[in-house]
A and B are shown apart, each in its own frame.
Chain A
Amino acid sequence: MSARLARQKGEWVNRASTIKFSFEGKEFSGFEGDSITSALWASGEQVLGRSFKYHRPRGILSLANHDINVMVTDGMDTNIRGDVVPVAAGMALAAVNTDGGVKKDRSRLIDSISPLLPVGFYYKAFHTPKKMFPFWENIIRKAAGLGVVNFNYPRILKRKLHAHCDVLVIGGGATGLSAAYEAGKSGLRVVLVDENAQLGGSLGFDWGGSQESANLLQELLAKLESLPNVSLIAGAYAAGYYPDHLIPVVTREGITKVRAGSVIMASGAFEQPPVFRNNDIPGVMLGSAAQRLLHRYSVKPFSNGVVFTANDYGYRVAQDLLEAGIKLAAVVDLRSDAKDGPLAAQLARRGVKTIAGSCIYEVQANADKTGVKSVTVTEYDEKTNEALTRDKVTLECDGVAMCAGWAPAANLLYQAGTAMRYDYGVHQFVPNRLPAGIFAAGRVNGVYELAQKVQDGARAAAQALLHIGLDVPELPSVQPSTRAQSHAYPIVPHPKGKNFVDFDEDIQVKDFINAAKEGFDNIELMKRFTTVGMGPSQGKHSNMNAIRILARVRGVPVEQIGTTTSRPFFHPTPIGHLGGRGFHPHRLTPLHDVNHKLGAVFTDVGAWKRAAYYKVAGLGVADTVLAEVEAVRTKAGIIDSSSFGKIEVHGPDAALFLERFFTGNYISQAVGSSRYTMLLDESGVVVDDGLAHRLAEDLFYLSSGTSNAAAVYREMQRWQQIWQLDIGLVNVTGAYAAINVAGPLARQVLSGLVNISLDDSALPAQSIRETEIAGVPVRLIRVAFVSDSTYELHIPTPQAAFVWERVMGAGQALGLKPFGTDAQRLLRLEMGHAMPGIDTDGLTNPYEINAQHAIGMDKPDFIGKRSLQIIAKRPVKKTLVAFALEAGYAGEMPFECNLVIRQGEIEGRVTSIAYSGTIGRVIGFAYVAPEHSALGSRFQIRADSGALVNATVVSSQFLAMQK
C-alpha cells in the first residue's frame, strides 16, 4: 500500500528516478531524494526498528536527524541512520538490535517482563558475585544495544580540510538564511551550513496550511544567489564548538575545520514529545515529523489521525494534514484555555473538533502491534498534572501527531560557554549571556514568529559584522515570543507506565521518579542512573522533559535543575571521520639513504630516525651490535651523528653568554679548543650536556645530544631574550651533517683525506680544526665519547653523502664498519660517560654525579648557581657509581630502573646496564648511598623476578678492566 501523495511543490524526491532496495529481505522501491525511512514509510512499512531495552516496535519519531530507533545495517556499515541517509539502489538493509528480524524479534518478550526490570536493575542485580558479571554482561550486551560491528570493515580514510570565513551561520532556516543574506551584503566571506539535505529548515515543511513559508524560502534563496561571497552548504552539520570559533563541519565526505571571525547560531529547536502511555507505537510521531513526511517526501504519515497538542503549533500541523487530504478524528489540546480560541474555530470550520483541556491517556495498538488502532482521551488537570479518568473517550485512528513544545538546539552554544536562562514567556531556555563573537537567533533564541525570525537573523548578522570590526548600524533586538511555544508539563501519568520520555534508552516517567526516590535527584546523577540522554540522540528529544519531571519531583523551578553537559559531536559521527590520516612528522638525516643501503634498521630518537644497527645476514641483533662494538674497539667504526644538536653563538658577547648559560668557564677558552658544557635549570638540576668548540674569539660552535637539542636551543633563545646580550644564535642542526669515525685505526682512515696533521700534538683531545675533505669544508673535532680516538666531521648537509663515501672508501682496507645507536650506547658506557636524561632524572644535581669539575662556582652567575650554593651546604643523598657484576655472571640480567636493595630497604636504582663484550663483564651505572660509593663497595640489585644480584662499585674507567 503506497502512502505517497501526488507530486507537490518543493518536494525533495525526484520521481523520475526510482530506486530499488531491500529491507529485512523484502524488496522495496523509493525515489531519489528519499531517506531510508521515508522510502519505507511510503511503502507502508511502519515497524522500522526495535527499541534499545524492551525491543518494542518503533517507527518514526522526529525525522529530524536524531531518530535513533530507526537504525539499519547493510552488513558492512552498522547503525546507519534511517532518517538521515538517502536510500540508494541495491541497498540490502536490516534493522539493528533484533533477534530474528524486526517483525518477529524474539527479544520482544523482554517488553512483557519489563515491570521486573526497574531503573537501575542491572546495576543492582548483576554486580555480585563479581565473577559472574562477565557472564551476565555478555547476555545483556547482546540483548540491549545497537548494531554489530563488522570486524572486516576496511580502513577508510576521510579527508580533513580547513576553511576560513568571516561569518559562519549555523542553520539554514528562515533565521539563518536571513542572517547569511544580511552578513553577505557586506561582501565578506560568509558560510552557511545546514545538516539537512536541502536548505530551508522549517520553511520547507511547516506550512500551517498556507504557501507563505514556501514562498519566503524561494525569495530568500533567490536573494542569496546574487551574493557570490556567500556559500550555502547543505548536508553538513556543525559538530561542536572549539575555542576561538573553530567549528568542525561534518559531511559524508569528511570533516572541514572552519575558523570563523564570528558565528551565528541559527540552529533552531528540537520538537519535544508529550509523554503518555504507548507514545512510541509506530504511527505516533511528532507534529514536525508528520510535516516533514508530507512536504519533503510527499508521504502521508497516516490516513486518519489525531493531533495531540499542548501549543499552537499543533494547529499548524492539523492544517497541513488536512491540506494533504488526511482525515482528523480530533485535535486534543492539553490546555483548557484553548477551547474557544481562534485556532479551534478555524479547525471547526473544516469540520475538525477540538477537545480542549484533555490528553491522550493511552494509545491502543492494533492486533499485531505494528501500528495504532485507537486512542483513549480523558480530561487533564493542568494544576495537578493528572489525567481525570472518570470519562474516557475512545477515538479510532491510525496515527497521532504530537506537539508539546520545543527545546533549543543550543548544544554548541553550551559548548561555547553560553549562560542560558529559562524564559517563562516562551517557556524555553534561551541564551542569557553569549561569549564574544557568538550570536544566537531564531528559535534557539526563543523567537518563533516567521517575520520576527527573519528580523532576528538580520539583527544577529549586524552584530556579527560589528564584532569583526565593520561599521554597520546595529539593528533593534528581537524579544523571545511572549506566547508559550512549549507546555510547562506535557506529561500524562499512567499506572501501567510505558509512557516514554527517552526513546533511545526506553526510559519511562516512573524511572525518573524512582531514580529521584533513590537519591539521584540531581540532573547529572539522574542522567547517569537512568541513562537519560545517553543514547545516540544525546537527549535531543528527552532532556527537556527529564528536566521538567525532575523539577516537578523536587518542587523547584526548572531553571534550578540546570542542564547536563552537551559535548561534541552533535550527531553520531563515523570513527573514520575522526581518525583519518595522522600527521607525525619525523626528521631524516642527510645520510638516511646511505644508511638504508647499508642495511640500517632505524629507531626513533626524538623526532629523528637514526640507524640502530646495520643488519648482517645470519646474525642476531645482540651479536650484530657486539660485532659493531668490537670493530670500534679493535679497528674503526663510523656512525651518522647528524641528528646531534648544533648551535652557533656569534658576537662579542658569545663567551659571556656561554658563561651565564652553562656551568663551566669559556672566556678563557682558546680558539681551536673544545670544552665540556653542562646545563642546569634554575633549581640546580642537570638538564643536558655537550661540547663548546671555539672557532673564533666571537664564534662558538655548540654540539649536544639528539633528544634535548630543540629544548636547549629554545632555552638559549629565552635567556637571550632576558639578558639581551650582543650575540646571535643560529641553529645549524639541519645545515651540518655529522660523522664520527672512532677506533684505534680512525686516525689512519682520515689521515689521507685531510691536509692537516692528526698527531696528538697537532690535534690533541678536545680540539677543533676547520679543514677540507676532497674540497668540501669540514669542521674536524677530536672527541672522546665512544673511544679515545674519535674524530667528528661536521660537513655541510648537501655534501654529507659524498664525504661519507670518501671516508668509507679510505677505511675499506682497514676494516672500517658502520655502527648504530645501539652500539654507540654500549660504547659510551664502556667509556664511562654518564648521560643526562639517562643516568640523571628530574631531581639530579651535579654533586650526585660527581660533576664538580664542570662547575665554575667562582663565576659571577650562571643558571642554577644560586640553587647550587644552597645544595652544596647539604649532605649529598645519593651518588652515581660505576659498577660491574661478577666476572662470568650468568644469572638473570638486571635492567635499567631495577632497584638497589640493602637490608630490605631501597637504596637507589640502576640507570644504565649492559653486557660489554670488550670487558667480558656486565657493567653499568647505579645510584647508591654516598657512604657505599667507595671503590670496591658491594651492593645488591633486585632483578625483575625479585632475585638479588651482587654488584661491585668499580672505577668508571671500565676499559681498564679489559682482559
Chain B
Amino acid sequence: MKLLTCPVNGTRPLSEFVFGGEYRVPPAADCSDKVWADYVHNRHGAPGIKQEWWYHAPSGTWFIAERNTLTDQVIRTFLKGQEGKQ
C-alpha cells in the first residue's frame, strides 16, 4: 500500500486518504458557455505531472498533491494557498 504525506499530519497509509480528482482552476464566471462546458466536462487523461485533491479522512484535511501519474510518484503535497511556503 502506498504512503501519502498529509501536510498537516505527516506520512500515512493510503487507506486513510480519499482521492478528490484533479485540481483545476475554474474559468471566470463571465467566460463563454463553451469554455465553461470544457472546464466542467473534459478531463486530461494523458499521464504526466498533475495536481490532485486528496483528503485525509481521519483529520478532515484537504490538500493538493503533485503527482507524476506515469510513475505514481508524489513529488510534493501542500495545503491550498500555501504552495509557495516551506
Contacts and interface: CB of A to CB of B under 8 A. Distances in A.
Given A243-B72, A244-B1, A682-B40, A866 B62 contact: no
A244 B60 contact: no
Contacts of A865: 29
List of 3 A-B pairs having minimum Cβ-Cβ separation, nearest first: A244-B3, A243-B2, A683-B40
B80 interface: yes
B79 interface: yes
Interface of B: 1-3, 18, 20, 26, 29, 33, 36-37, 39-41, 53, 55, 57, 60, 62, 72, 79-81
- Most chain B CB within a 10 A radius of its CB, from A242, A246, A682, A721: A721
Nearest to B73: A436
A861 interface: yes
A721 B79 contact: yes
A870 B33 contact: yes
Contact of B80 (A244, A721, A867): A721
B36 A718 contact: no
21 contacts: A243-B1, A243-B2, A244-B1, A244-B2, A683-B40, A683-B41, A713-B60, A714-B18, A718-B55, A718-B62, A721-B62, A721-B79, A721-B81, A722-B80, A724-B81, A865-B29, A866-B29, A867-B36, A867-B40, A870-B33, A870-B37
A706 interface: no
A717 interface: yes
Nearest to B55: A714
Interface string A843-869: 000000000000000000100011101
Given A242-B1, A714-B18, A721-B81, 13 more contacts: A243-B3, A244-B3, A246-B1, A683-B41, A713-B60, A714-B55, A714-B57, A718-B20, A718-B53, A718-B62, A721-B80, A866-B29, A870-B37
Nearest to B40: A683
Interface string A709-737: 00001100110011010000001000000
Contacts of A722: 80
B21 to A, nearest CB: 10
A627 to B, nearest CB: 41
Contacts of A721: 62, 79-81
B60 A717 contact: yes
Contacts of A718: 20, 53, 55, 62
Contacts of B33: 869-870
A243 B74 CA distance: 12
Contact of A866 (B36, B72, B79, B80): B36
A867 B1 CA distance: 38
Interface of A: 242-244, 246, 259, 682-683, 713-714, 717-718, 721-722, 724, 731, 861, 865-867, 869-870
A108 to B, nearest CB: 48
B37 A682 contact: no
Contacts of B72: 243
A888 to B, nearest CB: 47
B65 to A, nearest CB: 14
Contacts, number: 45
Contacts of A717: 55, 60, 62
A712 to B, nearest CB: 13
A846 to B, nearest CB: 16
Nearest to A436: B73
Nearest to A417: B71
Nearest to B18: A714
B60 A861 contact: no
Given A683-B41, A870-B36, A861 B80 contact: no
Contacts of B57: 714
Nearest to A867: B40
A59 B75 CA distance: 53
A651 B37 CA distance: 34
A757 B18 CA distance: 46
- Most chain B CB within a 10 A radius of its CB, from A244, A246, A714, A869: A244
Nearest to B34: A870
Nearest to A257: B1
Contacts of B80: 721-722
Contacts of B81: 721, 724
A242 B72 CA distance: 12
Given A714-B18, A714-B55, A718-B62, A861 B79 contact: no
Contacts of A869: 33
Nearest to B37: A870
Contacts of B39: 682
Contacts of A682: 26, 39-40
A475 B22 CA distance: 43
Contacts of B79: 721
Contacts of A243: 1-3, 72
Nearest to B72: A243
Nearest to B64: A721
Contacts of B53: 718
Contacts of B36: 866-867, 870
Nearest to B63: A721
Given A243-B72, A724-B81, A866-B36, A861 B2 contact: no
Nearest to B27: A866
A602 to B, nearest CB: 25
Contacts of A724: 81
A692 B55 CA distance: 25
A724 B82 CA distance: 12
Nearest to A685: B40
A867 B34 CA distance: 11
Nearest to B21: A718
Nearest to A731: B60
A861 B40 contact: no
Contacts of B18: 714
A85 to B, nearest CB: 30
B86 to A, nearest CB: 18
A683 B21 CA distance: 15
B42 to A, nearest CB: 11
Contacts of A870: 33, 36-37
Contacts of B62: 717-718, 721
A865 B29 CA distance: 9
A650 to B, nearest CB: 15
A907 to B, nearest CB: 25
A861 B37 contact: no
Contacts of A244: 1-3
- Most chain B CB within a 10 A radius of its CB, from A243, A866, A867: A866
A784 B2 CA distance: 47
A246 B1 CA distance: 6
Contacts of A242: 1
Nearest to A682: B40
A866 B36 CA distance: 8
A713 B62 CA distance: 12
B67 to A, nearest CB: 12
A9 B70 CA distance: 53
Contacts of B2: 243-244
Contacts of B26: 682
A243 B4 CA distance: 11
A661 B57 CA distance: 21
A88 to B, nearest CB: 35
A373 to B, nearest CB: 55
Nearest to A245: B3
A299 to B, nearest CB: 43
Nearest to A683: B40
A686 to B, nearest CB: 15
A105 to B, nearest CB: 45
Contacts of A861: 29
Contacts of B1: 242-244, 246
